[in-house]
Copies of this chain bind each other. A is one copy, B any other.
Amino acid sequence: MTRLFNDPADFADEALAGFVAAHRRWVRPVTGGVVRAAGTPAGQVAVVIGGGSGHYPAFSGLVGAGLAHGAAVGNVFASPSAQQIRGVAKAAHGGAGVLLMYGNYAGDVLHFGQAADRLNAEGVPTATFAVTDDISSAPADQAAKRRGIAGDLPVFKAAAAAAEAGQPLAEVARIAAHANARTRSFGIAFSGCTLPGADEPLFTVPAGRMAVGLGIHGEPGIGEAVLPTADEAAELLVAGLLKELPDGVTAPAGNRAAVILNGLGSVKYEELFVVYRRVAELLQEAGVTVVEPEVGELVTSFDMAGVSLTLTWLDAQLEPLWTAPADTPALRKGAVAPAAAGTAAAAPESTPETEDDALPQGTAASRETAVTAAAALRAVAATVAEHAEELGRIDAVAGDGDHGIGMLRGATAADAAARDAAERGAGAGTVLHRAADAWADRAGGTSGALWGTILHAVGDALGDEERPTAATVAAGVTRAGEEVRRVGGARVGDKTMVDVLVPFADTLAAATGAGDRLAAAWDRAAGAAGEAAAATADLLPQMGRARPHAEKSLGTPDAGAHSLALIVRAVHGVLSDTTEEH
């Protein structure tokens, strides 16, 4: 378990500060993460990687010559926010564009995608690439849905080495895709990690058993089996990877492969070596030539006990990229000359510019509404704080257990930003926009992106001029539902917050359309939301999303759906108190 921490909410920030203090030769801190201490050589494409904290050396430990130019570092198991990613990308940009690289998780896809949109709009040519190496997370014909695990490393490295060799952005992105297409990983786990401040592990595996195919946050695997010997574990992993060869590799024999045997946290080096001994034998028997293997902790999950095997099937293009020199805190290969002063692009003296702080002022009518909006966000923060632990527990059944802490950070930041803006004379629209940005930036993760989207849509509807009618509010909520479906890609029935947001919006629109006052309509809509949230529990086990060993999975609702229902109920209290006159 994780034992050494101060305030759990500060864990990721403090870990990053300590990492930087210990590695000043390689990295320097910027808003949102780190970049190479020597900067990006002028004219070189910058490869910016990132993801949640808790996976060290992914992602900050892989920044340095020959590998990443920067890393955006999110909270524990939560994607960095688009704003963080943008900050790191701008600091790393060497004038030749940026490739954003990350594992294929919903939150990362959302935030890196939003960051790329903003960077491109700001004139920084930016492409994105999500690694999908984990064969257990989706069948081969749906490879694009797969998660990224330890295969992150060889795919990042191929792209970064191509950038280092002077390739343009389009070619660096093409090489990332090529390396990813030839990279496969397969893992097993024996116990889950315990996050900072948590009393229990994120998941458990019965003694003497192993979970096959588990993800790096403990996402469900594809089965369970008896705890193997080290040799049996090696045989399982090698057989799994040799069964699914990539296009262009017709048989293992005669091929060359980069091999990574990765420890997830508390599987120790000696154990990895015992397993690797047999992995090397099996690959040799299959006729595969191993090229510069890596055996160690490369993509971890706190103290999770597990191990994964990654093969990157090399070709004439990929092999020199894999063996090219690299000099990072966690991975060094070959001989790397220290970066000569002057070859690097001028390192920005300060962190990237923050948003212009000139605050648009609202009309008197909108400022009155803004006070209600700020009160609503205060109520949201209070109810999230009250239920944070419960939300984490619920999320641990089918997610990675970070929903409570992410919501708490987001709601708290939104509350502060809303109050600040309201006190300084902003209208309701601006208050909600500021709250939206604060929530997304501070929370990270999928829920941070979606709550930023919701608050932004409602803020657009309210504006900074008029006193909104009940219909205006209902239209904003309907628009929020549309945006969340567009951005998140979920539909009604997928057992996500969309299952709650859509009936909430529909009921609110119907009631206000029928002439109800806002508070009464909201009350009815909140009731519909509560029923819809409870209904997300019904089919979870059948859908295979629940963890194999979670006793409480039957009847546990989706965490995002549940928190949305709690929040709309809390907001109703504010509406009843203050806006009966609307």
Q: Are A21 and B336 in contact (CB under 8 A)?
A: no
A171 contacts the other chain (CB 8 A): no
Please state if B3 and A270 are interface contacts (CB–CB under 8 Å): no
Residues of B within 8 A of A261 (CB): 22
Q: How far is the CB of A310 from chain B (nearest CB, A)?
A: 14
CB pair B265 A265 closer than 8 Å: no
Check A295–B22 contact: CB distance below 8 A: yes
CB distance from A149 to the nearest CB of B (A): 17
Contact B335 A280 (CB under 8 A): no
A298-331 vs B, CB cutoff 8 Å, 1 = contact: the mask equals: 0010110101000000000000000000000000
Return chain B residues, CB-CB under 8 Å to A54: 270
The reply to whether A19 and B190 form a contact with Cβ atoms under 8 Å apart is no
Known contacts A11-B270, A300-B269, A230 near B5 by CB under 8 Å: yes
A289 interface hit (Cβ, 8 Å): no
Contact partners of A302 in chain B: CB under 8 A: 268, 270
CA distance A62 to B15 in the complex (A): 26
Does A244 reach chain B (CB closer than 8 Å)? no
Whether B300 pairs with A268 at a CB distance below 8 angstroms is: yes
B53, A3: Cβ atoms under 8 Å? no
A500 located at the interface, meaning its Cβ lies under 8 Å from any Cβ of chain B in the complex: no
Confirm or deny: A538 has a beta carbon within 8 angstroms of a beta carbon on chain B.
no
- Given A3-B227, A229-B5, A335-B336, decide whether A18 and B277 contact each other with a Cβ distance below 8 A: yes
Contacts of A265 in B (CB 8 A): 266, 268
- Rounded to whole Å, the gap between the CB of A382 and the closest CB of chain B is 27
Does A431 have its Cβ within 8 Å of any Cβ on chain B? no
B268 touches A22 (CB 8 A): no
A50-B130 Cα distance, complex, nearest whole Å: 44
With contact pairs A21-B276, A274-B18 given, residues A267 and B231 touching in the complex (Cβ less than 8 Å):
no
Residue A4 at the chain B interface, CB threshold 8 Å: yes
Q: Which residue of B lies closest to A337 (CB)?
A: B335
A338 located at the interface, meaning its Cβ lies under 8 Å from any Cβ of chain B in the complex: yes
**Considering residues A5, A267, A297, which has the most beta carbons from chain B within 10 angstroms of its beta carbon?**
A5
* Contact indicator per residue, chain A 1-31, by CB within 8 Å of chain B (1) or not (0): 0111110000110111111011001000000
The answer for the CA separation of A297 and B270 in the assembled complex, in Å, is 13
Interface string of A256-274 (1 = CB under 8 A from B): 0000010001111111111
Contact indicator B293/A22 (Cβ below 8 Å): yes
**B273 in contact with A18 (CB, 8 Å):** yes
A292–B19 alpha-carbon span in the complex (Å) = 13
Are A5 and B274 in contact, CB atoms less than 8 angstroms apart?
A: yes
Does A135 reach chain B (CB closer than 8 Å)?
no
Q: Is the CB of A269 within 8 A of B11?
A: no
Q: Does B277 contact A229, Cβ atoms closer than 8 Å?
A: no
Quick check: is A470 within 8 A (CB to CB) of the other chain? no
Minimum distance in angstroms from A311 CB to a CB of chain B:
15
Q: Taking the complex as formed, is A88 at the interface, i.e. its CB lies under 8 A from any CB of chain B?
A: no
- Point out the residues of chain B lying under 8 angstroms from A16, CB to CB: 273
Interchain nearest-CB distance for A4 vs B (Å): 4
Q: Is A275 an interface residue (CB 8 A)?
A: yes
Is A57 in contact with chain B by the CB < 8 A criterion?
yes
A-B contact pairs, 16 of them (CB 8 A): A4-B230, A6-B229, A12-B270, A14-B273, A17-B273, A18-B276, A19-B295, A21-B276, A21-B280, A22-B261, A22-B295, A25-B292, A56-B270, A269-B297, A335-B335, A335-B337
Q: Which residues of A contact B (CB under 8 A)?
A: 2-6, 11-12, 14-19, 21-22, 25, 53-54, 56-57, 61, 190, 227, 229-231, 233, 261, 265-278, 280, 292-295, 297, 300, 302-303, 305, 307, 332, 335-338
Per CB-CB distance, the 6 closest pairs between chain A and chain B, nearest first, are A18-B273, A18-B277, A4-B271, A56-B269, A18-B276, A15-B270
